[in-house]
Structure 1
Amino acid sequence: MEFMKKPPNWLLTLFSIVIGLIAWYLLSAIPAVGTIITNPVKVFTTFQTEIMSGRLWINVWASLLRVVGGFSLGLIVAIPVAFLMAWYPMVRSIVDPWIQFFRTIPPIALIPLVIISQGVGESAKITVIFVATFLVMVITIFQGVRNVDPTLIRAARVLGAKDRDIFFEVIVPASFPFILVGVRLGLAAAWTTLVAAELTGANKGLGNMIMEASLYFRMDTVILGIIVIGVIGLAMDRFVLFLERRLTGWQELRQE
Protein backbone atom coordinates (compact mmCIF):
# COMPACT_ATOMS: atom_id res chain seq x y z
CA MET A 1 0.00 0.00 0.00
CA GLU A 2 1.41 3.35 -1.03
CA PHE A 3 1.17 6.26 1.34
CA MET A 4 0.51 9.75 0.14
CA LYS A 5 3.56 11.94 -0.02
CA LYS A 6 3.65 14.52 2.76
CA PRO A 7 2.85 18.00 1.38
CA PRO A 8 5.45 20.72 1.88
CA ASN A 9 5.16 22.91 4.98
CA TRP A 10 4.52 26.08 3.00
CA LEU A 11 1.50 24.46 1.36
CA LEU A 12 0.12 23.41 4.73
CA THR A 13 0.61 26.97 6.00
CA LEU A 14 -1.16 28.41 2.96
CA PHE A 15 -4.01 25.94 3.41
CA SER A 16 -4.33 26.94 7.07
CA ILE A 17 -4.51 30.64 6.15
CA VAL A 18 -7.17 30.02 3.50
CA ILE A 19 -9.27 27.99 5.94
CA GLY A 20 -8.89 30.75 8.54
CA LEU A 21 -10.05 33.42 6.07
CA ILE A 22 -13.05 31.33 5.04
CA ALA A 23 -14.00 30.75 8.69
CA TRP A 24 -13.61 34.48 9.35
CA TYR A 25 -15.86 35.36 6.40
CA LEU A 26 -18.52 32.84 7.44
CA LEU A 27 -18.52 34.11 11.03
CA SER A 28 -18.88 37.71 9.88
CA ALA A 29 -21.94 36.70 7.83
CA ILE A 30 -23.82 35.89 11.05
CA PRO A 31 -25.71 39.10 11.98
CA ALA A 32 -25.05 38.86 15.73
CA VAL A 33 -21.33 38.26 15.13
CA GLY A 34 -20.84 40.49 12.10
CA THR A 35 -21.36 43.67 14.14
CA ILE A 36 -18.16 42.83 16.05
CA ILE A 37 -16.11 40.69 13.65
CA THR A 38 -16.08 42.73 10.44
CA ASN A 39 -15.75 40.71 7.25
CA PRO A 40 -12.30 40.43 5.57
CA VAL A 41 -13.33 42.47 2.52
CA LYS A 42 -14.20 45.53 4.61
CA VAL A 43 -11.02 45.17 6.68
CA PHE A 44 -8.95 45.02 3.49
CA THR A 45 -10.71 48.14 2.19
CA THR A 46 -9.88 49.91 5.46
CA PHE A 47 -6.29 48.73 5.10
CA GLN A 48 -6.05 50.33 1.66
CA THR A 49 -7.56 53.57 2.96
CA GLU A 50 -5.17 53.76 5.92
CA ILE A 51 -2.18 53.00 3.70
CA MET A 52 -3.10 55.63 1.11
CA SER A 53 -3.68 58.28 3.77
CA GLY A 54 -0.34 57.50 5.41
CA ARG A 55 -1.89 57.10 8.86
CA LEU A 56 -1.06 53.41 9.10
CA TRP A 57 2.63 54.00 8.36
CA ILE A 58 2.79 56.68 11.08
CA ASN A 59 1.14 54.39 13.62
CA VAL A 60 3.32 51.40 12.68
CA TRP A 61 6.51 53.44 12.91
CA ALA A 62 5.57 54.91 16.30
CA SER A 63 4.77 51.49 17.75
CA LEU A 64 7.92 49.91 16.29
CA LEU A 65 10.13 52.54 17.92
CA ARG A 66 8.48 51.92 21.29
CA VAL A 67 8.67 48.15 21.03
CA VAL A 68 12.29 48.10 19.82
CA GLY A 69 13.31 50.69 22.41
CA GLY A 70 11.72 48.91 25.38
CA PHE A 71 12.82 45.48 24.19
CA SER A 72 16.43 46.55 23.55
CA LEU A 73 16.75 48.07 27.02
CA GLY A 74 15.20 44.94 28.52
CA LEU A 75 17.68 42.68 26.72
CA ILE A 76 20.69 44.83 27.60
CA VAL A 77 19.79 44.69 31.30
CA ALA A 78 18.47 41.10 31.38
CA ILE A 79 21.63 39.40 30.06
CA PRO A 80 24.11 40.60 32.71
CA VAL A 81 21.55 40.28 35.53
CA ALA A 82 20.68 36.71 34.51
CA PHE A 83 24.33 35.67 34.26
CA LEU A 84 25.20 37.27 37.61
CA MET A 85 22.24 35.54 39.27
CA ALA A 86 23.28 32.18 37.86
CA TRP A 87 27.01 32.58 38.55
CA TYR A 88 26.89 34.12 42.04
CA PRO A 89 24.49 32.66 44.66
CA MET A 90 24.71 35.87 46.72
CA VAL A 91 23.44 37.97 43.80
CA ARG A 92 20.67 35.45 43.20
CA SER A 93 19.56 35.61 46.84
CA ILE A 94 19.33 39.39 46.67
CA VAL A 95 17.80 39.89 43.22
CA ASP A 96 15.60 36.83 42.63
CA PRO A 97 12.89 37.65 45.24
CA TRP A 98 12.32 41.06 43.63
CA ILE A 99 12.16 39.62 40.13
CA GLN A 100 9.68 36.97 41.23
CA PHE A 101 7.62 39.63 43.02
CA PHE A 102 7.37 42.01 40.05
CA ARG A 103 6.87 39.11 37.63
CA THR A 104 3.43 38.49 39.15
CA ILE A 105 2.35 42.11 38.62
CA PRO A 106 0.86 42.90 35.18
CA PRO A 107 2.66 45.81 33.50
CA ILE A 108 -0.63 47.70 33.11
CA ALA A 109 -0.77 48.03 36.92
CA LEU A 110 2.42 50.12 36.80
CA ILE A 111 0.98 52.69 34.40
CA PRO A 112 -0.24 55.16 37.08
CA LEU A 113 3.20 55.14 38.73
CA VAL A 114 4.94 55.54 35.37
CA ILE A 115 2.72 58.47 34.36
CA ILE A 116 3.25 60.27 37.67
CA SER A 117 7.03 59.78 37.58
CA GLN A 118 7.70 60.25 33.86
CA GLY A 119 4.66 62.02 32.43
CA VAL A 120 3.02 60.90 29.20
CA GLY A 121 6.02 61.13 26.88
CA GLU A 122 7.78 58.38 24.96
CA SER A 123 9.92 57.41 27.94
CA ALA A 124 6.82 56.29 29.86
CA LYS A 125 5.72 53.94 27.08
CA ILE A 126 9.22 52.52 26.66
CA THR A 127 9.47 51.98 30.42
CA VAL A 128 6.29 49.88 30.54
CA ILE A 129 7.54 47.71 27.65
CA PHE A 130 11.00 47.51 29.22
CA VAL A 131 9.61 46.13 32.50
CA ALA A 132 7.54 43.47 30.70
CA THR A 133 10.35 42.30 28.44
CA PHE A 134 13.07 42.38 31.10
CA LEU A 135 11.12 40.17 33.51
CA VAL A 136 10.41 37.58 30.81
CA MET A 137 13.93 37.47 29.41
CA VAL A 138 15.86 37.48 32.68
CA ILE A 139 14.04 34.38 33.92
CA THR A 140 14.54 32.51 30.63
CA ILE A 141 18.23 33.36 30.31
CA PHE A 142 18.84 32.58 34.00
CA GLN A 143 17.32 29.11 33.60
CA GLY A 144 19.46 28.55 30.51
CA VAL A 145 22.66 29.37 32.37
CA ARG A 146 21.63 27.20 35.32
CA ASN A 147 20.96 24.27 32.99
CA VAL A 148 24.47 24.22 31.56
CA ASP A 149 25.87 20.71 31.97
CA PRO A 150 28.08 20.76 35.10
CA THR A 151 30.25 18.07 33.51
CA LEU A 152 31.47 20.65 31.00
CA ILE A 153 32.42 23.02 33.79
CA ARG A 154 34.25 20.32 35.75
CA ALA A 155 36.09 19.19 32.64
CA ALA A 156 37.20 22.75 31.95
CA ARG A 157 38.49 23.11 35.52
CA VAL A 158 40.42 19.83 35.24
CA LEU A 159 42.08 21.19 32.11
CA GLY A 160 43.18 24.25 34.07
CA ALA A 161 40.66 26.78 32.84
CA LYS A 162 40.08 29.84 35.01
CA ASP A 163 36.67 31.25 35.87
CA ARG A 164 36.96 33.83 33.12
CA ASP A 165 37.72 31.15 30.53
CA ILE A 166 34.92 28.91 31.76
CA PHE A 167 32.47 31.78 31.61
CA PHE A 168 33.27 32.88 28.05
CA GLU A 169 34.22 29.50 26.55
CA VAL A 170 31.68 27.21 28.24
CA ILE A 171 28.82 29.07 29.92
CA VAL A 172 28.10 31.68 27.25
CA PRO A 173 28.10 29.30 24.22
CA ALA A 174 26.04 26.68 26.07
CA SER A 175 23.43 29.21 27.19
CA PHE A 176 23.26 31.12 23.89
CA PRO A 177 20.24 29.15 22.60
CA PHE A 178 18.36 30.14 25.76
CA ILE A 179 19.25 33.77 25.13
CA LEU A 180 17.62 33.53 21.71
CA VAL A 181 14.56 31.85 23.23
CA GLY A 182 14.45 34.71 25.72
CA VAL A 183 14.62 37.18 22.83
CA ARG A 184 11.60 35.54 21.19
CA LEU A 185 9.63 35.60 24.42
CA GLY A 186 10.71 39.17 25.06
CA LEU A 187 9.52 40.31 21.65
CA ALA A 188 6.16 38.62 22.24
CA ALA A 189 5.88 40.34 25.63
CA ALA A 190 6.77 43.69 24.06
CA TRP A 191 3.98 43.47 21.49
CA THR A 192 1.40 42.18 23.97
CA THR A 193 2.28 45.08 26.29
CA LEU A 194 2.16 47.69 23.53
CA VAL A 195 -1.52 48.56 23.92
CA ALA A 196 -1.09 48.96 27.68
CA ALA A 197 1.99 51.13 27.12
CA GLU A 198 0.10 53.39 24.74
CA LEU A 199 -2.51 54.01 27.42
CA THR A 200 -0.04 56.54 28.79
CA GLY A 201 -1.37 59.37 26.62
CA ALA A 202 -0.27 58.31 23.14
CA ASN A 203 -1.65 60.21 20.14
CA LYS A 204 -0.27 57.76 17.59
CA GLY A 205 0.64 54.09 17.42
CA LEU A 206 -1.18 50.86 16.66
CA GLY A 207 -2.47 50.50 20.21
CA ASN A 208 -3.77 54.07 20.13
CA MET A 209 -5.38 53.40 16.73
CA ILE A 210 -7.21 50.38 18.16
CA MET A 211 -8.42 52.26 21.24
CA GLU A 212 -9.63 55.31 19.29
CA ALA A 213 -11.44 53.12 16.76
CA SER A 214 -13.16 51.16 19.53
CA LEU A 215 -14.60 54.37 20.97
CA TYR A 216 -16.45 54.99 17.70
CA PHE A 217 -17.22 51.28 17.18
CA ARG A 218 -15.12 51.17 14.00
CA MET A 219 -14.51 47.47 14.30
CA ASP A 220 -12.87 47.22 10.87
CA THR A 221 -10.07 49.49 12.10
CA VAL A 222 -9.85 47.63 15.39
CA ILE A 223 -9.41 44.30 13.62
CA LEU A 224 -6.93 45.85 11.17
CA GLY A 225 -4.79 47.09 14.07
CA ILE A 226 -4.88 43.66 15.71
CA ILE A 227 -3.85 41.97 12.46
CA VAL A 228 -0.99 44.42 11.81
CA ILE A 229 0.39 43.88 15.33
CA GLY A 230 0.15 40.12 14.84
CA VAL A 231 1.83 40.18 11.43
CA ILE A 232 4.73 42.38 12.55
CA GLY A 233 5.20 40.37 15.74
CA LEU A 234 5.16 37.11 13.78
CA ALA A 235 7.67 38.45 11.25
CA MET A 236 10.06 39.50 14.02
CA ASP A 237 9.66 36.12 15.74
CA ARG A 238 10.39 34.25 12.48
CA PHE A 239 13.50 36.37 11.97
CA VAL A 240 14.83 35.51 15.44
CA LEU A 241 13.98 31.84 14.82
CA PHE A 242 15.97 32.02 11.58
CA LEU A 243 18.95 33.45 13.48
CA GLU A 244 18.56 30.73 16.11
CA ARG A 245 18.79 28.02 13.48
CA ARG A 246 21.80 29.60 11.79
CA LEU A 247 23.73 30.37 14.97
CA THR A 248 22.97 27.18 16.88
CA GLY A 249 23.30 24.67 14.06
CA TRP A 250 25.30 22.40 16.33
CA GLN A 251 22.15 21.71 18.31
CA GLU A 252 19.32 19.48 17.29
CA LEU A 253 16.79 21.68 15.53
CA ARG A 254 13.48 22.02 17.31
CA GLN A 255 10.58 20.33 15.56
CA GLU A 256 7.71 22.64 14.84
Structure 2
Amino acid sequence: MKKSSNALVNIGWAVLPFLFLLVFWTALRMTGLINPTLLPSPAEVAQTLWVHLTEGNFIVNVYMSAQRVVLGLLLGMLLAVPVGFLIGWYRPVRRFVDPLINFFRALPPIALIPLAIVYLGIGEVAKVAILFYASFFAAVIVMYEGMIQISPVYIRVARTLGATDFEIFRKVMLPMTVPHMLTALRVALGVAWATLVASELVAAQEGLGAMIQNASAFFDLRTIYLGIISIGVLALLMDIGLRRLSNRLVSWQDKTEN
Protein backbone atom coordinates (compact mmCIF):
# COMPACT_ATOMS: atom_id res chain seq x y z
CA MET A 1 0.00 0.00 0.00
CA LYS A 2 2.79 2.37 0.91
CA LYS A 3 4.58 1.77 -2.39
CA SER A 4 1.39 2.31 -4.39
CA SER A 5 0.60 5.52 -2.53
CA ASN A 6 4.14 6.78 -3.10
CA ALA A 7 3.81 5.96 -6.78
CA LEU A 8 0.57 7.92 -7.00
CA VAL A 9 2.18 10.88 -5.24
CA ASN A 10 5.13 10.78 -7.66
CA ILE A 11 2.78 10.62 -10.65
CA GLY A 12 0.80 13.52 -9.24
CA TRP A 13 3.90 15.67 -8.84
CA ALA A 14 4.98 14.77 -12.37
CA VAL A 15 1.60 15.67 -13.89
CA LEU A 16 0.98 18.81 -11.83
CA PRO A 17 3.43 21.11 -13.69
CA PHE A 18 1.86 20.21 -17.03
CA LEU A 19 -1.64 20.86 -15.69
CA PHE A 20 -0.42 24.24 -14.51
CA LEU A 21 1.07 24.88 -17.94
CA LEU A 22 -2.23 24.02 -19.64
CA VAL A 23 -4.14 26.31 -17.29
CA PHE A 24 -1.65 29.13 -17.89
CA TRP A 25 -1.81 28.56 -21.66
CA THR A 26 -5.62 28.69 -21.67
CA ALA A 27 -5.74 31.70 -19.34
CA LEU A 28 -3.21 33.60 -21.44
CA ARG A 29 -5.32 33.03 -24.53
CA MET A 30 -8.50 34.16 -22.76
CA THR A 31 -6.98 37.38 -21.43
CA GLY A 32 -6.66 38.78 -24.94
CA LEU A 33 -3.06 39.85 -24.40
CA ILE A 34 -2.19 37.74 -27.43
CA ASN A 35 -4.27 37.56 -30.57
CA PRO A 36 -6.15 34.21 -30.44
CA THR A 37 -5.23 33.57 -34.06
CA LEU A 38 -1.56 33.66 -33.03
CA LEU A 39 -1.99 31.33 -30.05
CA PRO A 40 -4.02 28.17 -30.69
CA SER A 41 -5.75 26.62 -27.70
CA PRO A 42 -4.74 23.22 -26.27
CA ALA A 43 -7.99 21.78 -27.67
CA GLU A 44 -7.13 23.02 -31.15
CA VAL A 45 -3.66 21.49 -30.94
CA ALA A 46 -5.19 18.21 -29.75
CA GLN A 47 -7.61 18.32 -32.68
CA THR A 48 -4.66 18.90 -35.03
CA LEU A 49 -2.94 15.87 -33.53
CA TRP A 50 -6.00 13.74 -34.29
CA VAL A 51 -6.07 15.00 -37.89
CA HIS A 52 -2.38 14.20 -38.36
CA LEU A 53 -2.84 10.76 -36.83
CA THR A 54 -5.82 9.84 -38.98
CA GLU A 55 -5.10 11.69 -42.22
CA GLY A 56 -1.40 12.53 -42.17
CA ASN A 57 1.89 10.78 -41.54
CA PHE A 58 2.47 11.83 -37.94
CA ILE A 59 3.67 8.39 -36.83
CA VAL A 60 6.17 8.32 -39.69
CA ASN A 61 7.43 11.77 -38.70
CA VAL A 62 7.88 10.67 -35.09
CA TYR A 63 9.66 7.49 -36.15
CA MET A 64 12.04 9.26 -38.53
CA SER A 65 12.99 11.93 -35.99
CA ALA A 66 13.46 9.40 -33.18
CA GLN A 67 15.56 7.20 -35.46
CA ARG A 68 17.85 10.08 -36.40
CA VAL A 69 18.26 11.17 -32.80
CA VAL A 70 19.03 7.65 -31.57
CA LEU A 71 21.55 7.00 -34.35
CA GLY A 72 23.31 10.31 -33.83
CA LEU A 73 23.29 9.82 -30.06
CA LEU A 74 24.68 6.27 -30.16
CA LEU A 75 27.42 7.17 -32.63
CA GLY A 76 28.34 10.22 -30.58
CA MET A 77 28.51 8.20 -27.36
CA LEU A 78 30.53 5.41 -28.98
CA LEU A 79 33.25 7.94 -29.77
CA ALA A 80 32.81 10.22 -26.74
CA VAL A 81 33.36 7.47 -24.14
CA PRO A 82 36.84 6.34 -25.31
CA VAL A 83 37.90 9.91 -26.12
CA GLY A 84 36.70 11.04 -22.69
CA PHE A 85 38.68 8.25 -21.02
CA LEU A 86 41.78 9.12 -23.05
CA ILE A 87 41.59 12.81 -22.20
CA GLY A 88 40.82 12.18 -18.55
CA TRP A 89 43.52 9.55 -18.08
CA TYR A 90 46.44 11.27 -19.82
CA ARG A 91 47.12 14.85 -18.77
CA PRO A 92 49.31 15.75 -21.81
CA VAL A 93 46.55 14.57 -24.14
CA ARG A 94 44.03 16.65 -22.19
CA ARG A 95 46.18 19.77 -22.47
CA PHE A 96 46.51 19.28 -26.22
CA VAL A 97 42.92 18.32 -27.02
CA ASP A 98 40.96 20.46 -24.56
CA PRO A 99 41.22 23.73 -26.57
CA LEU A 100 40.12 21.92 -29.74
CA ILE A 101 37.11 20.36 -28.04
CA ASN A 102 36.01 23.66 -26.54
CA PHE A 103 36.47 25.36 -29.92
CA PHE A 104 34.29 22.90 -31.81
CA ARG A 105 31.79 22.61 -28.95
CA ALA A 106 31.09 26.32 -29.25
CA LEU A 107 30.19 26.03 -32.93
CA PRO A 108 26.41 25.73 -33.41
CA PRO A 109 25.51 22.65 -35.47
CA ILE A 110 23.23 24.73 -37.70
CA ALA A 111 26.31 26.61 -38.94
CA LEU A 112 27.71 23.34 -40.29
CA ILE A 113 24.69 22.53 -42.44
CA PRO A 114 26.19 24.00 -45.66
CA LEU A 115 29.35 21.94 -45.17
CA ALA A 116 27.31 18.82 -44.37
CA ILE A 117 25.42 19.24 -47.64
CA VAL A 118 28.63 19.78 -49.63
CA TYR A 119 30.49 16.78 -48.20
CA LEU A 120 27.68 14.37 -47.32
CA GLY A 121 24.82 15.30 -49.64
CA ILE A 122 21.21 15.76 -48.60
CA GLY A 123 20.43 12.21 -47.47
CA GLU A 124 20.13 10.66 -44.03
CA VAL A 125 23.90 10.59 -43.52
CA ALA A 126 24.09 14.40 -43.38
CA LYS A 127 21.23 14.63 -40.88
CA VAL A 128 22.68 11.96 -38.59
CA ALA A 129 26.14 13.53 -38.88
CA ILE A 130 24.86 16.84 -37.52
CA LEU A 131 23.22 15.05 -34.58
CA PHE A 132 26.40 13.03 -34.05
CA TYR A 133 28.43 16.23 -33.94
CA ALA A 134 26.16 17.80 -31.35
CA SER A 135 25.98 14.63 -29.22
CA PHE A 136 29.69 13.89 -29.26
CA PHE A 137 30.92 17.26 -28.01
CA ALA A 138 28.21 17.45 -25.35
CA ALA A 139 29.04 13.95 -24.07
CA VAL A 140 32.83 14.11 -24.19
CA ILE A 141 32.92 17.20 -21.98
CA VAL A 142 30.84 15.46 -19.30
CA MET A 143 32.94 12.31 -19.59
CA TYR A 144 36.36 13.78 -19.08
CA GLU A 145 35.19 16.32 -16.50
CA GLY A 146 33.79 13.37 -14.53
CA MET A 147 37.03 11.41 -14.86
CA ILE A 148 39.31 14.17 -13.65
CA GLN A 149 37.10 14.65 -10.58
CA ILE A 150 37.65 11.06 -9.41
CA SER A 151 39.77 11.12 -6.28
CA PRO A 152 43.37 10.01 -6.96
CA VAL A 153 43.30 8.18 -3.62
CA TYR A 154 41.62 5.21 -5.28
CA ILE A 155 44.39 4.99 -7.87
CA ARG A 156 47.13 5.26 -5.25
CA VAL A 157 45.57 2.51 -3.16
CA ALA A 158 45.24 0.26 -6.20
CA ARG A 159 48.90 0.86 -7.14
CA THR A 160 49.95 0.13 -3.55
CA LEU A 161 48.18 -3.22 -3.81
CA GLY A 162 50.14 -4.00 -6.97
CA ALA A 163 47.48 -3.31 -9.62
CA THR A 164 48.63 -2.68 -13.16
CA ASP A 165 47.39 0.27 -15.24
CA PHE A 166 44.95 -2.00 -17.06
CA GLU A 167 43.60 -3.40 -13.78
CA ILE A 168 43.21 0.11 -12.38
CA PHE A 169 41.35 1.15 -15.51
CA ARG A 170 39.09 -1.94 -15.52
CA LYS A 171 38.40 -2.33 -11.79
CA VAL A 172 38.63 1.25 -10.50
CA MET A 173 38.14 3.85 -13.20
CA LEU A 174 35.58 2.07 -15.35
CA PRO A 175 33.06 1.34 -12.54
CA MET A 176 33.46 4.83 -11.10
CA THR A 177 32.79 6.50 -14.44
CA VAL A 178 29.52 4.65 -15.10
CA PRO A 179 27.49 7.46 -13.46
CA HIS A 180 29.32 9.99 -15.64
CA MET A 181 28.62 7.90 -18.75
CA LEU A 182 24.92 7.93 -17.95
CA THR A 183 24.98 11.66 -17.24
CA ALA A 184 26.80 12.23 -20.54
CA LEU A 185 24.16 10.14 -22.28
CA ARG A 186 21.35 12.25 -20.81
CA VAL A 187 23.07 15.53 -21.67
CA ALA A 188 23.81 14.35 -25.21
CA LEU A 189 20.20 13.19 -25.60
CA GLY A 190 18.90 16.65 -24.73
CA VAL A 191 21.35 18.31 -27.09
CA ALA A 192 20.43 15.89 -29.90
CA TRP A 193 16.72 16.65 -29.59
CA ALA A 194 17.50 20.38 -29.43
CA THR A 195 19.49 20.00 -32.67
CA LEU A 196 16.85 17.91 -34.43
CA VAL A 197 15.10 20.77 -36.24
CA ALA A 198 18.46 22.09 -37.46
CA SER A 199 19.46 18.66 -38.78
CA GLU A 200 16.19 18.31 -40.65
CA LEU A 201 16.86 21.55 -42.50
CA VAL A 202 18.92 19.33 -44.79
CA ALA A 203 16.14 18.65 -47.32
CA ALA A 204 14.13 16.46 -44.95
CA GLN A 205 10.74 15.34 -46.25
CA GLU A 206 9.76 13.46 -43.08
CA GLY A 207 10.34 14.12 -39.41
CA LEU A 208 9.00 16.44 -36.74
CA GLY A 209 11.46 19.17 -37.69
CA ALA A 210 10.40 18.91 -41.32
CA MET A 211 6.76 19.01 -40.22
CA ILE A 212 7.41 22.23 -38.29
CA GLN A 213 9.25 23.82 -41.21
CA ASN A 214 6.54 22.89 -43.71
CA ALA A 215 3.87 24.24 -41.37
CA SER A 216 5.76 27.53 -40.95
CA ALA A 217 5.66 28.04 -44.73
CA PHE A 218 1.84 28.04 -44.53
CA PHE A 219 1.65 29.85 -41.15
CA ASP A 220 0.01 26.73 -39.67
CA LEU A 221 0.54 27.55 -36.00
CA ARG A 222 -1.42 24.54 -34.75
CA THR A 223 0.93 22.12 -36.49
CA ILE A 224 3.95 24.11 -35.34
CA TYR A 225 2.78 23.83 -31.73
CA LEU A 226 2.07 20.14 -32.25
CA GLY A 227 5.59 19.53 -33.56
CA ILE A 228 7.22 21.45 -30.71
CA ILE A 229 5.17 19.65 -28.06
CA SER A 230 5.86 16.28 -29.69
CA ILE A 231 9.62 16.87 -29.57
CA GLY A 232 9.38 17.85 -25.91
CA VAL A 233 7.27 14.82 -25.01
CA LEU A 234 9.56 12.37 -26.79
CA ALA A 235 12.67 13.91 -25.22
CA LEU A 236 11.02 13.79 -21.79
CA LEU A 237 10.00 10.12 -22.14
CA MET A 238 13.47 9.09 -23.25
CA ASP A 239 15.05 11.07 -20.40
CA ILE A 240 12.76 9.37 -17.89
CA GLY A 241 13.84 6.01 -19.25
CA LEU A 242 17.50 6.95 -18.90
CA ARG A 243 16.96 8.19 -15.36
CA ARG A 244 15.37 4.90 -14.36
CA LEU A 245 18.24 3.02 -15.98
CA SER A 246 20.69 5.21 -14.09
CA ASN A 247 18.96 4.51 -10.79
CA ARG A 248 19.26 0.78 -11.40
CA LEU A 249 22.87 0.79 -12.58
CA VAL A 250 24.32 3.15 -9.97
CA SER A 251 22.24 2.16 -6.95
CA TRP A 252 25.48 0.80 -5.46
CA GLN A 253 26.87 4.33 -5.42
CA ASP A 254 24.15 5.60 -3.11
CA LYS A 255 24.77 2.68 -0.74
CA THR A 256 28.49 3.40 -0.79
CA GLU A 257 27.97 7.08 -0.01
CA ASN A 258 25.59 6.26 2.83
TM-score range, shorter chain: over 0.9
Aligned residue number for residue 99 of structure 1:
101
SS at match of 1:192: helix
Q: Per-residue deviation at 1:52?
A: 1.1
Q: Distance in 2 between matches of 1:186 and 1:212?
A: 27
SS at match of 2:150: coil
SS at match of 2:254: coil
Q: How does 1:47-86 map to 2 (within 5 A)?
A: 47-86=49-88
Matched, 1:111 2:105: no
Q: Distance in 2 between matches of 1:22 and 1:74?
A: 39
1:107-152 deviations in Å (ceiling 9; x for gaps): 1111111111111110000111111010000000101111111111
Amino acid corresponding to residue 57 of structure 1 in structure 2 = I
Aligned residue number for residue 27 of structure 1:
28
Higher helix share: 2
Moved more, 82-91 or 130-139: 82-91
Matched, 1:13 2:9: no
Amino acid corresponding to residue 217 of structure 2 in structure 1 = L
Q: Distance in 2 between matches of 1:56 and 1:148?
A: 45
Moved more, 54-63 or 9-18: 9-18
Q: Percent identity?
A: 42
TM-score (normalizing by structure 1): 0.93
Contact 1:29 1:39 survives alignment (8 Å): no
Q: How does 1:1-256 map to 2 (within 5 A)?
A: 8-31=9-32, 32-252=34-254
Contact 1:129 1:193 survives alignment (8 Å): yes
Q: Distance in 1 between matches of 2:147 and 2:24?
A: 44
Q: Distance in 1 between matches of 2:172 and 2:56?
A: 50
Q: Distance in 1 between matches of 2:70 and 2:125?
A: 13
Q: Per-residue deviation at 1:54?
A: 4.6
Contact 1:27 1:34 survives alignment (8 Å): no
Moved more, 239-248 or 6-15: 6-15
SS at match of 1:38: coil
SS at match of 1:201: coil
Q: Distance in 1 between matches of 2:191 and 2:90?
A: 27
Q: Distance in 1 between matches of 2:24 and 2:10?
A: 21
SS at match of 1:217: coil
Root mean square deviation of aligned Cα: 1.5
Q: Per-residue deviation at 1:96?
A: 1.7
Contact 1:27 1:33 survives alignment (8 Å): no
The ranges of structure 1 where at least 4 consecutive aligned residues each deviate by more than 3 angstroms after the TM superposition are none
1:181-230 deviations in Å (ceiling 9; x for gaps): 00000000000000000011111100010011111111110000011100
1:166-193 deviations in Å (ceiling 9; x for gaps): 0010001111101100000000000000
Q: Aligned residue pairs: how many?
A: 248
1:61-112 deviations in Å (ceiling 9; x for gaps): 1111110111111000000000001112232233222111111111111111
TM-score (normalizing by structure 2): 0.92
**Residues 174 and 111 from structure 1, CA distance in 2 versus in 1: closer, same or farther, beyond 3 angstroms?**
same
Moved more, 31-40 or 70-79: 31-40
